[in-house]
Structure 1
Amino acid sequence: MDTQKIEIPPFTPHQKFIIAILALLQFTVILDFMVISPLGDILMKTLDMSTANFGMVVSAYAFSAGISGLLAAGFADRFDRKKLLIFFYTGFIIGTLCCAFSPNYQMLLASRIVTGFFGGVIGSVSLAIVTDLFAVNQRGRVMGFIQMAFASSQILGIPIGIYFANLWGWHSAFLMIVLLASVILIAVIFKMQPVNKHLEIQSDKSPFLHLWHTLSNKNYQIGFTAIAFLSVGGFMLQPFGSAYLVNNIHISHAQLPMVFFFTGVSVLIIMPLIGKLSDRINKFKLFTIGSVISIVMILIYTNLPVVPLWEVVALNMILFMGIMSRMVPATTLNTSIPEVKDRGAYMAITSSMQQIAGGIAAICAGYIVHQQTKTSPLENYGLLGIIISCVTLTTVFLIYRVSKMVQRKADTIKIPAE
């Protein structure tokens, strides 16, 4: 499509506030999930967990988030999205606080279940808000900014969290998240306007009927499957990232913040560019390019010998640039699938499928990867890379189907899809 013909409207002041507040929300939610990975080696040694136990801690969050998303899906389009956001974000803060005071593996596992139950719905509510408040040709830029929360968590949150963990214990990393999230919650309560236009066009009388109608839609099922597969690679690779670097590549705990910092910088640089490109060129082509880069880098990264720190940093930067080049176009395409009246339920179910698939992936990774002792190298990490690469190829095919479906829908209602 000729990019000269596409009109890209500017953001209003309230839209800019929404982008900022959703990015900060995502920053805390992503940080809460991702800080588990760099703390993984510390947690496994401190709380005497095996790789299978640690995989269960990661997957417990994911399964809980998936179940809560399904339970919330039928009601997601029945309430003001601001109220939903406040409710689930409050529960997320309480769950994270419980994580901070967990004295053993069992308590940490239970706390991750609570955190996942509330935190897993926040992403879907945020996506529904984006779809409600932004035109289709604004969403790529919006998702680019919001996905920068991932980079920010890498640059600021994770290095600071590891620093606090090394200084005051791993509990302090979660307390840091609780403090920041509490400030953000206050801003949402007092500054965010209601998001309730969708309430004017509801048709299903029962929330469960609404959920069933959304689940049984053939087109929606394609989107659910595609996004579920999209999450599998990350849930397999990331949980054991720090343990792999420490025990296989001999990166020290003091050097880990530097690895995550520069990885975040690379993502921070690439995300605005990917967001703009996603609004201007074919999203599937952009996704495919990112997938090819990801596969090549994953196969290299998971088979590394002992290499210098600078080489680890460089490989991580390129790897995550490829991964994030997939996330923005795929997520943007996915937001274009549902009808207005189904957006909340669709996003909630999508998030659930993503979390459940990721939880299964984390458990599988925990059993694929082995560690003889707490300081032994991880075994079968290269096999994990091959499996992730195959899943990535499958995702390319599924996103191709999504892109064709979105294009047909765009042609029907006479708006540009790209």
Structure 2
Amino acid sequence: MKTEQPQTAFTGYQKFVIFILALTQFTVILDFMVMSPLGDMLMKSLSLKPQAFGFAVSAYAFSAGISGLLTAGFADKFDRKKLLLFFYCGFIIGTIFCGLAQSYAVLLAARIITGLFGGVIGSISMAIITDIFSLQQRGRVMGFIQMGFGASQVLGIPVALYLADHLRWEAPFWMVAAIGVAALIAIAIYLKPITAHLAIQKDKSALLHLWHTAAKPDYQVGFVATALLSIGGFMMMPFGTAFAVNNLKIPNADLFKLFMVSGLSTLVIMPLIGKLSDRIDKFKIFMAASIWTMIMCVVYTNLGPTPLWLVMILNVMMMMGVMSRMVPSSALTSAIPDMADRGAFMSINSSLQQIAGGVAAVAAGAIVTKKTDYSPLEHYDIVGYVIVVISVLSILGMLRVDKLTKKKMESKKVVIPEQEAVLSEGF
């Protein structure tokens, strides 16, 4: 197997950056993902059909995608710390409004507001990571950042379900807002300004900068690969809990166990995959994980009533594939843009990711049907087959990204992380 450059140790400040960005990711991911475990409760309490619930999930994704496109031209015009503070503050306010919602229409509006701000946070974080960490460190960094996904399942979702069961379904949003306020204070006090990119800006117009970024052929390859990956990754998510309750016959009281076990496995898998991504070829890891994901998606979506222990095992095996694709793909994609374009590139890329997720939720809602509130979901297996087709296309897309990344590495001199943010246009 092909090895990459020797690994470089993290400084104390870099460790803080990893922690605080992981915490913001935890809140943003939990805010988005909590809709899935609340899905069965919401559909029954509000008498929603799968298609209506799919639209409720996609409303956040579409608004996040639109927000990313609108802000992409400005993403490289400001200190990245100030951008993170502004959008994270808006995200917290939107989440508070979700907790105040008393009807489906108000909840839908609140989800749109939350998406407008929350959808940009991931792209700002990626730009910060690319500015501060070298490519040889980014696999490990992404492994830790993506632990926010696992932590949301181990800590966030079980607690959210407990609060929803014992209080109201709005309670999880209040929990996310409280954690977000603590993270916001830490960012304001300890995160240093990130402004090196401001010295090398060429486009005076934000719209012109957006156009120049979106028009570059190499960047377009990354955009397409990300969109394909997101469609395949989001299709099963909106109806995962409803499928577990109504088809696999898992009691609502045991759902937290399912999420906790899969989340714990993610906390172990993500750092391991991050280290492997920095040691061996990132694309090979991505391709192997994608093939494994295709197999497990087909198996899982064709299940009938199944014992909880077996569902846990299969869910962990499926999550191994899904999450193991995220780390190497994120690291590879981060190497495409030059420093001057990173904010805009990450914003556009994040927007397409969110929009693709919204399309996936709407598509899954159109495929899946349900006769009554308590009857099994139908045609969920078709969702699994669609994921297989899209995963094959995502492998081909990421192969092109890998070739561009290696070509860029060969043409640029590798510098240490502290130099990269100031001296080079980056990887």
TM-score greater than 0.5 by the shorter chain: yes
Q: Does 1:92 align with 2:123?
A: no
1:285-324 equivalences in 2 (<5 Å): 285-324=284-323
Q: Which residue of 1 aligns with 2:350?
A: 351
Q: Which residue of 1 aligns with 2:247?
A: 248
> One-letter code of the match for 1:39?
L
Q: Distance in 2 between matches of 1:83 and 1:47?
A: 39
1:15 shift after superposition: 0.6
CA contact (8 A) 1:236 1:365 kept: yes
Q: Which residue of 2 aligns with 1:55?
A: 54
Q: Which residue of 2 aligns with 1:226?
A: 225
1:11 shift after superposition: 0.9
Q: 1:2 to 1:50 in 2, by over 3 A?
A: closer
**Where has structure 1 moved over 3 Å in runs of 4 or more?**
414-418
1:264-275 equivalences in 2 (<5 Å): 264-275=263-274
CA contact (8 A) 1:369 1:380 kept: yes
Q: Which residue of 2 aligns with 1:385?
A: 384
1:341 shift after superposition: 0.2
Deviations 1:117-165 (A, max 9, x none): 0000000000000000011101110000000110000100001101111
CA contact (8 A) 2:21 2:125 kept: yes
Deviations 1:102-124 (A, max 9, x none): 11111111111000000000000
Deviations 1:18-56 (A, max 9, x none): 000000000000000001001000011112211111111
Q: Which residue of 2 aligns with 1:137?
A: 136
Q: Which residue of 2 aligns with 1:168?
A: 167
Q: Does 1:10 align with 2:13?
A: no
CA contact (8 A) 2:61 2:354 kept: yes
Q: Distance in 2 between matches of 1:2 and 1:213?
A: 34
> One-letter code of the match for 2:91?
F
> One-letter code of the match for 1:293?
W
1:415 shift after superposition: 4.1
Q: Distance in 2 between matches of 1:160 and 1:111?
A: 22
Q: Distance in 1 between matches of 2:311 and 2:198?
A: 50
CA contact (8 A) 2:58 2:357 kept: yes
Q: Which residue of 2 aligns with 1:101?
A: 100
Deviations 1:81-115 (A, max 9, x none): 00000100011011111111211111111111000
Q: Secondary structure at the match of 1:239?
A: helix
> One-letter code of the match for 2:171?
S
Q: Distance in 1 between matches of 2:337 and 2:149?
A: 25
Q: Distance in 1 between matches of 2:180 and 2:16?
A: 17
CA contact (8 A) 2:153 2:260 kept: yes
> One-letter code of the match for 1:200?
A
CA contact (8 A) 1:263 1:313 kept: yes
1:398-417 equivalences in 2 (<5 Å): 398-415=397-414
> One-letter code of the match for 1:57?
A
1:311 shift after superposition: 0.4
Q: Which residue of 2 aligns with 1:214?
A: 213
Q: Distance in 1 between matches of 2:79 and 2:160?
A: 34
CA contact (8 A) 2:127 2:346 kept: yes
Q: Which residue of 2 aligns with 1:261?
A: 260
> One-letter code of the match for 1:93?
I
> One-letter code of the match for 1:387?
V
Q: For structure 1, which segment, 378-387 or 102-111, has the greater mean C-alpha deviation from structure 2 after superposition?
A: 102-111
Q: Which residue of 1 aligns with 2:79?
A: 80
CA contact (8 A) 1:49 1:105 kept: no
Q: 1:2 to 1:229 in 2, by over 3 A?
A: closer
Q: Secondary structure at the match of 1:52?
A: helix
Q: Which residue of 2 aligns with 1:150?
A: 149
Q: Which residue of 1 aligns with 2:120?
A: 121
1:414 shift after superposition: 4.2
CA contact (8 A) 2:37 2:161 kept: yes
Q: Distance in 2 between matches of 1:374 and 1:259?
A: 22
Gaps of 5+ in 2: 416-425
Q: Distance in 2 between matches of 1:410 and 1:104?
A: 52
CA contact (8 A) 2:2 2:281 kept: no
Identity level (%): 55
Deviations 1:318-347 (A, max 9, x none): 100111110000000000000010000000
Q: Distance in 2 between matches of 1:413 and 1:125?
A: 24
1:6 shift after superposition: 2.2
Q: Distance in 2 between matches of 1:414 and 1:283?
A: 20
Q: Distance in 2 between matches of 1:165 and 1:387?
A: 33
Q: Distance in 2 between matches of 1:309 and 1:2?
A: 40
Q: Secondary structure at the match of 2:235?
A: helix
Q: Distance in 2 between matches of 1:388 and 1:46?
A: 30
Q: Secondary structure at the match of 2:146?
A: helix
Q: Which residue of 1 aligns with 2:423?
A: none
Count matched residues: 417
1:234 shift after superposition: 2.5
